[in-house]
């Protein structure tokens, strides 16, 4: 525990109120990981917290929870309710690995449900009956999936067996923002496939609006840990993907990025490589980082697909077309297409394309010549050396 958090607990203890380090921050520390947040539970009532810690800000009505600024970051502080004290608090924490408390004043660990042993064994076990655990706090079904993805926990078989019915009964009562937080934590975990497979087996993924593609878990584990990409992987092929983003109140700007990835996937089909306007549209509408993600997703997706070699060839051609468009966009020619046609006296597409390619190469070699008169002189030289073919011959030959 950082000194700043320990100092808060010590201040409460000195006033005669027990204080315990609890929650996922303690769990993470016991696993040897750096906690990302800090949580304390205390015997101090709300009025005593306000008196002893003037900077504490209430975050729930009636002083049921506070947040206290500290040098280690914000600390969540909850007064214990009921006569059960810390034992009652731990009983309400759902899983044994989260139902532990450290008291700095006595250097002792409260572990009434065998959480430390389950932590070592990698077991996710409820502190009450599985059904009661999941129906009393429906979010725990998603929390279980996240913990499986983040830490590799194995669920008790009877706990997993109760998840479908418990979610059907109470899933609609879960706060959308809490649900989004758990889904995001799952997707951004080191091994999201473990959590996604659990949601698939319990059919909670269907309720969320995720797609049914069988390769979802493999792609999540193998592709870059980009948040928008991982959401898009889960929502591919789903008729309810957009409703999922709305139901979970995904922030508008982030949701727009996810939708853009979905709209342009698979990139080799949504962008017509032989149509310059289509290639240009992709560059104009999608940021370069997301174009790279679209290619990475498609390449991973076709790994074992029949006809993969043909798709890889299409992706290579599209990459080349994008590179050409980007090169031209870096330094536009000072002559337009009409001026080039007039200068070489030709309206045939292939010959105009050859002339433009020549000019771009000259400008790349000498950017100073990218002005109309210099380009016209270059065109005159090129046209003299490359006369148009006689009438009737293939102009593109």
Tell me the per-residue pLDDT of 269-296, one tens digit each, with 9 for 90 and over.
Answer: 999 988 888 888 898 889 989 999 999 9
Interhelix angle 308-330/276-285, nearest 10 degrees? 70
Residue 152: CB atoms within 10 Å: 13
Question: Is there a contact between 151 and 105 (Cβ–Cβ < 8 Å)?
Answer: no
Q: Rounded to a whole number, what is the distance in angstroms from the first to the last CA of the chain?
A: 76
Question: C-alpha 94: how far from its chain's center?
Answer: 26
What one-character DSSP code corresponds to residue 335? Answer: S
Lowest mean per-residue pLDDT among 116-120, 122-126, 235-239: 235-239
pLDDT digits (tens, 9 = 90+) for 162-189: 999 999 998 889 999 999 999 999 999 9
pLDDT digits (tens, 9 = 90+) for 132-145: 999 999 999 999 99
Domain ranges in the chain are 1-127, 334-385
Query: Cβ neighbours of residue 246 under 8 Å, at least 6 residues apart?
Result: 255
- pTM to 2 decimal places: 0.76
Q: In 3-state terms, what secondary structure has residue 123?
A: strand
Structure confidence at residue 391 as a pLDDT band (50, 70, 90): low
Looking at per-residue pLDDT, the higher value among 152 and 242 belongs to: 152
Assign domain 1-127 to its CATH architecture.
2-Layer Sandwich (3.30)
Interhelix angle 372-385/349-365, nearest 10 degrees? 120
Q: Is the dihedral of CA 110, 113, 117, 122 positive or negative?
A: negative
Give the separation between CA 162 and CA 133, rounded to whole angstroms: 10
Give the separation between CA 154 and CA 140, rounded to whole angstroms: 15
Q: In 3-state terms, what secondary structure has residue 329?
A: helix
């Amino acid at each position: 525990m950082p000194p700043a958090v320990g100092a808060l607990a010590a201040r409460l203890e000195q006033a005669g109120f027990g204080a315990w380090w609890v929650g996922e921050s303690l769990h993470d520390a016991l696993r040897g990981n750096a906690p990302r947040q800090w949580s304390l539970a205390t015997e101090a009532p709300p009025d005593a917290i306000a008196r002893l810690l003037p900077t504490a800000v209430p975050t729930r009505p009636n002083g049921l929870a506070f947040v206290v600024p500290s040098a280690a970051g914000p600390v969540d502080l909850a007064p214990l309710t009921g006569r059960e004290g810390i034992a009652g608090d731990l009983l309400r924490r759902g899983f044994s690995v989260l139902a532990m408390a450290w008291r700095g004043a006595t250097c002792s660990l409260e572990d009434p449900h065998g959480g430390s042993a389950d932590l070592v064994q990698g077991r996710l076990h409820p502190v009450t009956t599985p059904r009661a655990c999941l129906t009393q706090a429906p979010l725990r079904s998603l929390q279980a999936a996240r913990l499986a993805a983040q830490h590799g926990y194995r669920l008790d078989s009877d706990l997993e067996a109760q998840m479908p019915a418990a979610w059907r009964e109470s899933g609609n009562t879960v706060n959308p923002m809490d649900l989004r937080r758990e889904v995001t934590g799952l997707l951004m975990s080191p091994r999201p496939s473990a959590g996604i497979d659990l949601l698939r087996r319990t059919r909670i993924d269907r309720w969320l609006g995720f797609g049914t593609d069988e390769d979802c878990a493999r792609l999540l584990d193998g592709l870059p840990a980009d948040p928008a990409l991982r959401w898009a992987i889960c929502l591919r092929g789903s008729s309810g993907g957009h409703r999922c983003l709305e139901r979970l109140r995904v922030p508008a700007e982030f949701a727009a990025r996810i939708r853009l990835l979905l709209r342009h996937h698979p990139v080799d089909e949504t962008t017509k490589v032989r149509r310059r306007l289509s290639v240009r549209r992709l560059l104009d509408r999608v940021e370069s980082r997301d174009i790279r993600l679209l290619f990475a997703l498609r390449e991973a997706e076709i790994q074992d697909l029949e006809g993969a070699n043909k798709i890889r060839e299409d992706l290579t051609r599209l990459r080349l077309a994008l590179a050409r468009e980007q090169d031209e966009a870096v330094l536009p020619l000072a002559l337009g297409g009409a001026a080039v046609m007039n200068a070489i006296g030709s309206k045939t597409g292939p010959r105009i394309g050859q002339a433009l390619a020549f000019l771009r190469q000259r400008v790349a070699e000498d950017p100073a010549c990218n002005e109309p008169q210099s380009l016209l002189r270059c065109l005159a030289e090129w046209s003299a050396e490359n006369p148009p073919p006689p009438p009737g011959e293939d102009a593109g030959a």
